[in-house]
Structure 1
């Protein structure tokens, strides 16, 4: 009987020791669940029924997904990423291709007519030229200003400025008729042009053309120097090409 009483006392002491250790453990960790079988709690889904959480706190659970879960390895990820990169690259190339600045060229075509007026000591001439302006861009080009300076033997004999020219549509070409007013006051040229012993009074006219254009939110200046020959002795209305 004495040995049985000692064993009972030893078991009760062990239960008290385990209870005190459990109480100390709950003090260090938050009261996530309980093993006491309290009926005021729901079964913990992450503990497979071995733990309890207070009612109303089920939305605060943290789910742990294993590394071999199929949700962490979506199908065709590389295909989707590569396809997205190719689409972005294609769009970028198309934008660069259509918006990349291209050339706008000015080309003198021909001299349409030359009208000569002799005044005492001076010669007044009206030279009409045909020029082409080509736009290679995929956007319209606005012609802001067009200047032409005419020189004979490096002497300026006329200037023309045009600021009301229309825009040029994309990938197109337009022709413009430009009239230049020239005044020749050199005595030697005056005698040369008025001489009756010479049938053709040829002068080489230098044209210095400058054009300001605007497109794609920026302005640009184009320049071109060219030569053409005219007859300063008589009127000429027969077009001839500029060479």
Structure 2
């Protein structure tokens, strides 16, 4: 009787021990992640909370640890994409520099067009018309303003013209600017020279100085040109007569 009782008790203890080990194995597989040295106490995984998957709504709050040897850290064609990006940036920069780089504004010499001569008892008055061509070699429009033209005879100013707003020149375009200048000659010797009927040719030698200001691409510069003209002053007429540029 005693022997049977002990055998029965031993089998029950062994069965209970087996059940306990199986339960512990299942708990460690599905619910517990354990300590570093595999010793207790066993705790629930803080990421999945023992359910084996990430709860909804926490995907954007968790950080995954990926080994350095993972292929996802070495995407294919990385060098190709980097080279294409660098080439596109250089191409875009070159185009910007090509189109926005300031180019020169060319102003041609002054060309004489016509003259009106008036005789008064003490003076000789003239209205001369001159043209100047201004060429814009930029890819943006330029503004021409503050034009000033003065006429000299032997270093003496006999006429002056000022224009505040002149014109706007579109990109890669040339414009012709016409300037009318009033000249008054009150020198007695020059008056007698122009009005004398004993002299066939009454030619005056004029020195013209022109300056203009140009604005483009937040940049301002001043252009200037000098020229010399021979103008007939012996005809007292109100009809303009053309003379070729000299």
**Range into which the TM-score falls when normalised by the shorter chain:** 0.7 to 0.9
TM-score, normalisation: structure 2: 0.73
Secondary structure of 2:194's aligned partner: helix
Q: Deviations over 1:16-56 (max 9, x none)?
A: xxxxxxxxxxxxxxxxxxxx758386354xx9x99965244
- Give yes or no for contact 2:158–2:184 (8 Å, CA) kept in 1: yes
- Give yes or no for contact 1:43–1:50 (8 Å, CA) kept in 2: no
**Structure 2: 5+ residue stretches without partners:** 1-23, 49-53, 55-61
Which residue number corresponds to residue 159 of structure 2? 158
Q: How do 1:16-95 residues align onto structure 2 when only pairs under 5 Å count?
A: 39=27, 42=31, 44=33, 54-58=44-48, 63-65=65-67, 67-95=68-96
**Structure 1: 5+ residue stretches without partners:** 1-35
Which residue number corresponds to residue 240 of structure 2? 237
Which residue number corresponds to residue 143 of structure 2? 142
Shift of the alpha carbon at 1:89? 0.7
- Give yes or no for contact 2:116–2:241 (8 Å, CA) kept in 1: no
| Counterpart-to-counterpart distance in 2, 1:147 and 1:228 | 17
Secondary structure of 1:190's aligned partner: helix
- Give yes or no for contact 1:209–1:225 (8 Å, CA) kept in 2: yes
- Give yes or no for contact 2:139–2:171 (8 Å, CA) kept in 1: yes
| Counterpart-to-counterpart distance in 2, 1:69 and 1:136 | 57
Shift of the alpha carbon at 1:85? 0.9
Across the aligned residues of Structure 1 and Structure 2, the Cα RMSD in angstroms comes to 2.9
Secondary structure of 1:200's aligned partner: coil
Secondary structure of 1:206's aligned partner: strand
| Counterpart-to-counterpart distance in 2, 1:120 and 1:161 | 28
TM-score, normalisation: structure 1: 0.74
| Counterpart-to-counterpart distance in 1, 2:63 and 2:96 | 50
- Give yes or no for contact 1:193–1:233 (8 Å, CA) kept in 2: yes
- Give yes or no for contact 1:108–1:129 (8 Å, CA) kept in 2: no
| Counterpart-to-counterpart distance in 1, 2:64 and 2:93 | 43
Shift of the alpha carbon at 1:227? 1.3
Shift of the alpha carbon at 1:217? 2.0
Which residue number corresponds to residue 178 of structure 2? 177
Shift of the alpha carbon at 1:72? 2.1
- Give yes or no for contact 2:136–2:173 (8 Å, CA) kept in 1: yes
Shift of the alpha carbon at 1:240? 3.2
The change in CA–CA distance for 1:241 and 1:93 in structure 2 (over 3 A counts) is: farther
Shift of the alpha carbon at 1:108? 3.7
User: How many pairs are equivalent?
Assistant: 205
| Counterpart-to-counterpart distance in 2, 1:227 and 1:124 | 19
